[in-house]
Structure 1
Amino acid sequence: MNTLTTERLIRYSKVILMAYISFFGLLVMIHNVTDYGSNYTYVAHVLSMDTTTNENLKYRAIDSPIVHHRIYWFIITMEVTYTVLCLIGTYQLYRHINSPAEVFHEAKKFSIMGILAAIFIYYVCLQTVGVEWFEMDTSQSWNAKDWARHIVDFIFPVMIYITLKLEH
């Protein structure tokens, strides 16, 4: 009978955490495709800066609906990319759950790439560009700063945990 050791539990926890991130990605992806209109409206308002408060920065606004659609499709593409990478990463970790430590460690590549892509979306695109350039945080109705921060607050520590070579 196999016993659950701490080492095995650590490996399983890495697979499970990656599955959580993959599941979140799938839900976001499905939502953005099946409810394109409401999320497009959000992107358009942020880019247009039509509900922000600092009039001195309105020159940064992008008012073109064509550009709004292209940026939104870029975001969707990045969400698909990170979700697929995380799903592959989850599968690779699970597939190598009983492999030697070096093999299991090398199986983390797709997970790391997926999490990096997710951090790009939620930290760089939303928290950095959305907040710092488009003043999203000053909007009462189109502000996803805290939502994005909560996502980064979960996935970044997971990336640190995944990358640590704790397996023997």
Structure 2
Amino acid sequence: MTTRYAKILLVLALAAFAGLASINNLTDYGSNFVFVQHVLSMDTTFPGNAAMYRAITTPWMWHGAYWLIIAGEAVTALCLTSGALALWRARHGSGDTFNRAKKLATLGLTLGFGVWFFGFMVVGAEWFLMWQSRQWNGQDAAFKFYMAILGVLIFVNQPDKN
């Protein structure tokens, strides 16, 4: 039972993280919007880099990208919360029952990995060259988030026995 409770608590902790991230981005919209604006504009990357054709300088597109991030965080939080509830309900069941209850948690963890790895590392850091910016570089924070998510994803998906 200890392992099952650990899985539930870790999923809940990440649900809280993703939920707070989305709430913070909604209630203090401007703070991280500026981050998205600078990353997409590529205005703090190395001068004269050959990839400036990728820059997005249209304000509605900055807002659209930011809303995609917020939506990804919120859906992640909802899936993880629902997944933790499903695990809680199945905690006294057989190993097969508990394993089947992992679906929403696995979905939420995968979505969260998508937001922080694909969104920030693939799109932000590599496509928009965020790594070149001293001020608007979110790689370190994103790394911490997606590695925590990945660790929990691996742990949760270890098969449970009776």
With the length of structure 1 as denominator, give the TM-score of the two structures. 0.93
Tell me the residue number matched to 2:95. 101
Tell me the residue number matched to 1:26. 19
Residue among 123, 140, 143 paired with 1:146: 140
Question: Distance in 2 between the 1:60 and 1:148 partners?
Answer: 21
1:127 equivalenced with 2:155 (yes/no): no
Question: Distance in 1 between the 2:148 and 2:79 partners?
Answer: 17
CA RMSD of aligned residues (A): 0.9
After superposing on structure 2, the runs of 4+ consecutive aligned residues of structure 1 that deviate more than 2 Å are none
Tell me the residue number matched to 1:5. none
1:83 equivalenced with 2:92 (yes/no): no
Q: Quote the offset at 1:167 in angstroms.
A: 2.5
Partner of 1:81, secondary structure, is: helix
Question: Distance in 1 between the 2:43 and 2:131 partners?
Answer: 13
Question: Distance in 2 between the 1:75 and 1:54 partners?
Answer: 27
Question: Distance in 2 between the 1:79 and 1:53 partners?
Answer: 30
On the 8 A contact 1:10/1:167 being kept in 2, the answer is no
Paired letter, 2:30: G
Question: Distance in 2 between the 1:135 and 1:57 partners?
Answer: 8
CA distances 1:107-163 after superposition (whole Å, capped 9, x unpaired) = 000000000100101000101111111010110110000100011111101101111
Paired letter, 1:51: T
Question: Distance in 2 between the 1:147 and 1:137 partners?
Answer: 12
Structure 1 residue ranges without an equivalent (≥5): 1-7
Question: Distance in 2 between the 1:38 and 1:22 partners?
Answer: 22
On the 8 A contact 1:90/1:111 being kept in 2, the answer is yes
On the 8 A contact 1:11/1:167 being kept in 2, the answer is no
On the 8 A contact 2:99/2:160 being kept in 1, the answer is no
Q: Quote the offset at 1:166 in angstroms.
A: 3.0
On the 8 A contact 2:98/2:160 being kept in 1, the answer is no
Residue among 150, 155, 160 paired with 1:161: 155
Q: Quote the offset at 1:54 in angstroms.
A: 5.0
Q: Quote the offset at 1:95 in angstroms.
A: 1.1
Residue among 3, 6, 11 paired with 1:13: 6
With the length of structure 2 as denominator, give the TM-score of the two structures. 0.97
Partner of 1:113, secondary structure, is: helix
Question: Distance in 2 between the 1:162 and 1:111 partners?
Answer: 8
Paired letter, 2:26: V
